[in-house]
Structure 1
Amino acid sequence: MMAHIGIVGAGLAGAGAAYALRDTDHEVTILEKSRGVGGRAATRRRDGCRYDYGANYVKVPDDRTGELIRDLGEEGLVDIAEPVWTFGADGEIAPGDGDDDHKYTWEAGITQFAKRLLAESGAEVRKTTRVAALDRAGGTWAATDTDGDDHGPFDALVLTPPAPQTAELLAATEGADADGALEDLRAAVEGTKYRTIRTLVLHYPFELDVPWYGLVDTDKAHEIGWLSREECKRGHVPDGESLLIVQPSPEWSAERYDDPLEETAETAATLAADLVGDDRLADPDWVDDQGWRYALPNEGLDGDRDGVEGGGTDADADGTADAVAAAREAGVFVAGDWVAGRGRAAAALWNGIDAGESIADRL
């Protein structure tokens, strides 16, 4: 029986869910608030440069991820050759452990990941469509956007926005929940906490002569958490230029989240110059930024934490699992890196694929 599946969000979780449904007879419609796809796996263009300003690359944690990326087409695929090095609270840079093989992006940018998944899926993507409320009537679902337009009916829904926004949608759901299933899920989703990141993009009319692609703070005590060079990605930066992606610590980012770009970029450039040991970096010739209020989840719905010791109790995990299962029985699925508990592109992708496969098994 053909069903109509609605997916809220065209990030990697939403694209993964649609991809998982590609060989079914189901119709898939994705409602995306922005003008593009990919979520944090996003790319911009400026002055001859392309740059991945959210997720910097796709790390390949297992064979299935690498196989999927290659199956989507190797034309334009970039495997960053330069290594990731480390530094600590003292700013001393050192070679990494070498365990950073296969850092994938594309010549056209990391947005290609979602674009290629969606092209294979055949799903309809309705962009600039911000969902404001959900409704259930007669056993099917409908979504209303901020312009007052209705979408549906849907036999099942996959919600992939960050947890706080998913919780708002669950709270704005009518006619659906006599047994409290979605209310229980909303309560569990609301407990997911995030780290905020404000990305700074710094361009220079010269190329750095260093042996690394990226630097990561292993102590999590420096004002910079991550710094990388887009010129290491084929097709991203013209020869003889440098483009740095600077992602400060969550604390630094939250404190300066709403500060003017010029002021924040100046401070970030000074930090980058001090870290790399090159005074020229204090004076970029153009800058850009993007704030990610909900950048990295501290933990997933089951209490698994992303790089933080300790999680929820067994009782909490059991209660959340019951809420997720009850919501799925009602036709509502949640997916994203925040469900998996790991702020990684591959985690979001496979969590979305899992949701899509669960729908295919049920309908």
Structure 2
Amino acid sequence: MIPITIIGAGIAGLACARRLTQAGLAPIVLDKGRGIGGRVATRRVDAMQFDHGAQYVTARTPSFAAVLEGLQTAGALGDWPDDDGRQRCVGRPGMSSLAKAMGQGLDIRQGVQVTGVTQTGAGWDLHLGQTLLQTKRVVITVPAPQVAGLLGADHPLTKAVSPVRMAPCLTLMAAVAAPSAFQSRQDHDDPLAWIAHDNSKPDRPQGTALWVAQAGQGFSQQHLEQDPAAIAELMLPLLCDRLGVTADDVVYAAAHRWRYARVTGALGHPFLSSVDGTLHLGGDWCIGARVEAAWQSGTAIADDILARV
């Protein structure tokens, strides 16, 4: 039986696993995807790359600032100040580098989808298709709306996460054969709430201008169920207008749907746990819509487990 299993290799899951590993425990991390980091992600297409999820990371607490400083020393993070000189950090050479650095040395098993979690007399059974994985403790770091699919609608912790609210985000990735108009722009009242020139970040490919545009909450909610090709067709004319270019200047365009991208109503606590302390739930949705919030939640879960072991 595995001592501790963490479901989800986003920042919360990685932070939890790293703290436990540093304390001498041996957790395993399961993730259904091909990459780690969750929304801290980079899409690579031929010689192009796009940070199509989290755009940058900042620190509000000394503890997370120390983490970012260590990642910068290791070469996984670089500075990307905004047009007003305010400091932001980005992964080098992509945002996914942050997650890869956090995951070094951890037992991460990708392409493994957990479809259910049930408690037994000895611990927990994780349902992996037709097989079971037995573990003494389980940490779930999936988005709050997905908890019910793992624990069941009637589980007490499923009911406890019901107040949490998360909103989608539609992202457009585009390569434009025209000079860049600006580094980044944020306007919450615009259907394209965020636009960033990806090449302006450190260690990025140069040449053709690579742009990431992320839609606002209303636009994203309205068009969420359309397929990515249709979403790209809707967003591209908006981006061309904002950049002052024509469709003839666009050499590549694709869209991505983040169904649970933004925390709009946080839990208000770093994590949830079962009465016996063998089940924990956490993620950015516990605290707020920041990479730091995910790290804080995962670290708090690890500290709680260490206090119990």
**Do these two structures clear the TM 0.5 threshold for a shared fold by scoring above it?**
yes
**Structure 1 stretches lacking a partner, 5+ long:** 84-95, 173-181, 305-320
Q: Deviations over 1:256-304 (max 9, x none)?
A: 223344443233222223334x134774210122101111121122389
Structure 1 match to 2:150: 169
Structure 2 match to 1:151: 133
Structure 2 match to 1:54: 53
Give me the whole-angstrom Cα distance separating, in 2, the residues matched to 1:133 and 1:199.
30
Secondary structure at 2:100 match in 1: helix
Match of 1:331 among 273, 278, 285: 278
Structure 1 residues 301 and 282: alpha-carbon distance in aligned structure 2, compared to 1, 3 A threshold: farther
Structure 1 residues 338 and 241: alpha-carbon distance in aligned structure 2, compared to 1, 3 A threshold: same
1:1-363 aligned within 5 A = 4-72=3-71, 73-83=73-83, 100-101=86-87, 103-119=88-104, 122-145=105-128, 147-152=129-134, 154-171=135-152, 183-210=155-182, 213-217=183-187, 220-238=188-206, 240-276=207-243, 278-280=244-246, 283-302=249-268, 324-325=272-273, 327=274, 329-340=276-287, 342-363=288-309
**Structure 2 stretches lacking a partner, 5+ long:** none
Q: Which amino acid aligns with 2:286?
A: V
Question: 2:64–2:292: 8 Å Cα contact kept in structure 1?
Answer: yes
Structure 1 residues 135 and 259: alpha-carbon distance in aligned structure 2, compared to 1, 3 A threshold: closer
Q: Which runs of 4+ in 1 moved over 6 A?
A: none
Q: Deviations over 1:27-46 (max 9, x none)?
A: 20111011110001011111
Give me the whole-angstrom Cα distance separating, in 2, the residues matched to 1:226 and 1:281.
20
Structure 1 residues 354 and 254: alpha-carbon distance in aligned structure 2, compared to 1, 3 A threshold: same
Deviation at residue 333 of structure 1 after TM alignment = 0.7
Deviation at residue 332 of structure 1 after TM alignment = 0.8
Q: Which amino acid aligns with 1:190?
A: S
Give me the whole-angstrom Cα distance separating, in 2, the residues matched to 1:31 and 1:257.
27
Deviation at residue 335 of structure 1 after TM alignment = 1.1
Secondary structure at 2:185 match in 1: strand
Give me the whole-angstrom Cα distance separating, in 2, the residues matched to 1:291 and 1:66.
30
Identity %: 26
Question: 2:175–2:210: 8 Å Cα contact kept in structure 1?
Answer: yes
Secondary structure at 1:22 match in 2: helix
Deviation at residue 230 of structure 1 after TM alignment = 0.3
Deviation at residue 106 of structure 1 after TM alignment = 2.3
Give me the whole-angstrom Cα distance separating, in 2, the residues matched to 1:64 and 1:222.
35
Deviation at residue 65 of structure 1 after TM alignment = 2.1
